[in-house]
Structures are given as structure tokens and as C-alpha cells.
């Protein structure tokens, strides 16, 4: 395993989104194969096959997900430095 410097958001997006299906054009699912986060633009570039797409970090999209439960998190410790 290689040591790579990246930001937390890109790491989380790669772990969560790669292999998931996102719906484009209302009913067309594509499988996300690669994710690149652009923090200054607030965009995520995703790749599926030979096609690339831009999605906005603050918009809502339809995904196929298996989520058993959603818990609210209340931080009770300080900020990590």
C-alpha cells in the first residue's frame, strides 16, 4: 500500500462512491468507477466506462444504496488537528 497525500473528502468519496450506481437523466443508472474531488469548484468528477461526468457537491442525486439506519452524530470531543 502506498502513502498518498489527499484530503479527507476525496478519500471518503472514493471509498463510498466507487462501485455505486447513480442515476443520470432521471432513469439511467451508471456505475461509478473513479472519483476525483475538486474542492475549489465544489464539484466531483466521476467516470463510468469511457464517459466522464461532473456532479455538484451541494446538489441531491439518486443513488442505489443499502443503508440500514441513519444516526445523528453529536460531537462530544474537540476538533481533530
Residue 69 domain flag: no
User: What is the tally of structural domains in the chain?
Assistant: 1
pLDDT category of residue 69 using cuts at 50, 70 and 90: low
C-beta of residue 18 within 8 angstroms of C-beta of residue 34: yes
Structural domain harbouring 14: 8-64
Beta-bridge partners for 29: 23
Q: What is the pLDDT of residues 5-59, one digit of tens each?
A: 888 888 899 998 999 999 988 789 999 999 999 989 989 999 999 999 999 988 8
Residue 57 domain flag: yes
Instruction: Report the pLDDT averaged over residues 55-79.
Output: 81
C-beta of residue 18 within 8 angstroms of C-beta of residue 35: yes
Residue 70 domain flag: no
Q: What is the pLDDT of residue 20?
A: 92
Q: From start to end of 1-81, where are the E strands? A: 21-24, 28-31, 34-38, 43-48, 51-56, 63-64
Amino acid at each position: 500500500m502506498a502513502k498518498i497525500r489527499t484530503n479527507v473528502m476525496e478519500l471518503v468519496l472514493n471509498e463510498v462512491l466507487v462501485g455505486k450506481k447513480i442515476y443520470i437523466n432521471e432513469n439511467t443508472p451508471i456505475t461509478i468507477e473513479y472519483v476525483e474531488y475538486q474542492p475549489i469548484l465544489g464539484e466531483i468528477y466521476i467516470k463510468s466506462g469511457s464517459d466522464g461526468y461532473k456532479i455538484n457537491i451541494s446538489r441531491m442525486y439518486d443513488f442505489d444504496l443499502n443503508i440500514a439506519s441513519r444516526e445523528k452524530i453529536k460531537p462530544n470531543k474537540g476538533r481533530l488537528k
